[in-house]
Amino acid sequence: MTLALHTEECQLLLQQALEVAALGDSTVPKHPKSRYADSSSDDEDIEDSSSSSEEDLGDTKEADTPETEPPNLVVEHVPQRPQREKKKKKHTNLEMSQRQREQIIQKHFESLTCEYFPLFNDKQLKIPSILFPKDETTVSWIHHLSLQLQEQPVVVLALRSGRFAGAVFLEEKCVVHTTSQRYTVRKGQGKAQSSQDNAGAAPKSMGAQLRRHGEMQLQQDIVQTFKKWKHYLETAALILISSPKTMKRQLFVEALQSEDRRIRRVPLDMGRPSFEAVSLIYAILTRIKVEDAPLPLSNHLSEKPLVDHPEECAPDNIDETISISPQVEIITLTRLHEAARDGNVELLEELLEAESSDVNSVAGEDLMTPLHYAAQSDALTASACVALLLEKGRANPCQLDRRNRVPYYLSSHDKVRDAFRMCRAALGEEYCSWDAGAKVGPPLTEDDLRTRKEREAEKRRRKKSRQKEKQAKEKAHVAQAEQARQEEEARQKEEEEAKRVRDGLAPKKGGANACDFCQTVCRKKSQMFQRLTYSYCSTDCVNKHKRELMASAALARFG
- Catalytic: which of 16, 124, 148, 193? 193
- 11 tagged catalytic: no
In this structure, the number of other CB atoms found within 10 A of the CB of residue 222 comes to 21
Return all residues near 501 (Cβ < 8 A) that are at least 6 apart: none
CA atoms of 403 and 405, how far apart (whole Å): 6
Return all residues near 124 (Cβ < 8 A) that are at least 6 apart: 28, 116, 117, 118, 290, 291, 292, 293, 297, 305
> Please, which residues bridge with residue 263 across strands?
239
User: For 130, which DSSP code?
Assistant: G
CA atoms of 284 and 281, how far apart (whole Å): 5
In this structure, the number of other CB atoms found within 10 A of the CB of residue 483 comes to 10
Return all residues near 145 (Cβ < 8 A) that are at least 6 apart: 5, 131, 237, 238
> Please, which residues bridge with residue 178 across strands?
166
Residue 270: alpha-carbon gap to chain centroid: 9
Buried b (16+ CB within 10 A) or exposed e, 396-411: bbbbbbbbbbbbbbbb
In this structure, the dihedral spanned by the alpha carbons of residues 135, 140, 146 and 149, taken in order and rounded to 10 degrees, is -50
Return all residues near 78 (Cβ < 8 A) that are at least 6 apart: none
Return all residues near 359 (Cβ < 8 A) that are at least 6 apart: 336, 352, 369, 370, 371, 389, 393, 394, 395
- 444, 439, 445: which is closest to 313 by C-alpha? 439
C-alpha separations of 198 from 68, 92, 192, 248, 375 in Å: 50, 53, 10, 16, 22
Residue 421: alpha-carbon gap to chain centroid: 23
Q: Give 499-505's long-range contacts (Cβ < 8 A, gap of 24+).
A: 503/545, 503/548, 503/549, 503/552, 504/548, 504/549, 504/552, 505/545
User: For 557, which DSSP code?
Assistant: H
Return all residues near 310 (Cβ < 8 A) that are at least 6 apart: 32, 33
Sign of CA dihedral 249, 212, 217, 268: negative
Strand segments (E) across 477-531: 529-531
Say if residues 367 and 331 touch (Cβ distance below 8 Å).
Answer: yes
3-state secondary structure of 496: helix
Sign of CA dihedral 477, 481, 487, 490: negative
Segments in 310-445 forming alpha helices (H)? 335-342, 345-354, 370-375, 379-387, 414-427
Which residues are part of the catalytic machinery? 193
